[in-house]
Amino acid sequence: MSWTPPLGAVQREPRSRWRPGYWLRHPAFSAFLVGCGVLVVVNCGVGELVDREHLRVRGETTSAVVEKARKPRRGGVLIRVRITTPRGEVVRPRLIDTPEHLPAPGDRLAVIYDPEDLEYAYRPGYESSMSGPLWLIALGVVPGLLYGWYLRRTWSHWRDQAEDWRHRRPVPRLGERQHPGPRRRPRA
């Protein structure tokens, strides 16, 4: 004899996988978001490495005159310099690697610039420093690997929770603190 649901019990279809309650609980969604974040941060670090390599290969060193130097309210230093290129054109790039002290307008600074990217100028020695881009790459890769390890251990828990929500079984509310163990009892 097979089991039949009691009279009055309504069998409802499972919710769609496209509803936010499902995909916000599913671990693939968080893996996608973390992966995008890792790609953005690592791309910034690789872009910095490429810019420094271009500066090292085709950079030109010259003397620049400070046109504007100020400290914005939100911190940092904004310095605009005036450079005359060997072709005779006058450009006004922004100095990226700023000196320790704030120079006064009219001061002369030694700068290096990329003739193909005249928006920015740097102080000599900037192109040889690799610590900044490497820290940026590590800042993207290390947390991504740690989160991948965590997700690998808890994938079945989060996926089961998404399926429970889909099949209208009780699940914790989104945002509630939980402690998923690496293993869960199999369903009967």
Residue 14 confidence (pLDDT): 84
d(CA 61, CA 120): 13
Which residues have C-beta within 8 Å of that of residue 98, sequence separation ≥ 6?
A: 76, 77, 79, 123
Stronger pLDDT, 148 or 71, i.e. the higher one? 148
Residue 186: pLDDT band (50, 70, 90) is low
Stronger pLDDT, 181 or 118, i.e. the higher one? 118
What average pLDDT does this structure show over 127-136? 84
d(CA 184, CA 188): 12
Query: 185 pLDDT exceeds 60?
Result: no
The model's pTM is 0.69
Please give the share of the chain, as a percent, with pLDDT higher than 70: 89
C-beta separation of 48 from 136 below 8 A: yes
What average pLDDT does this structure show over 116-139? 86
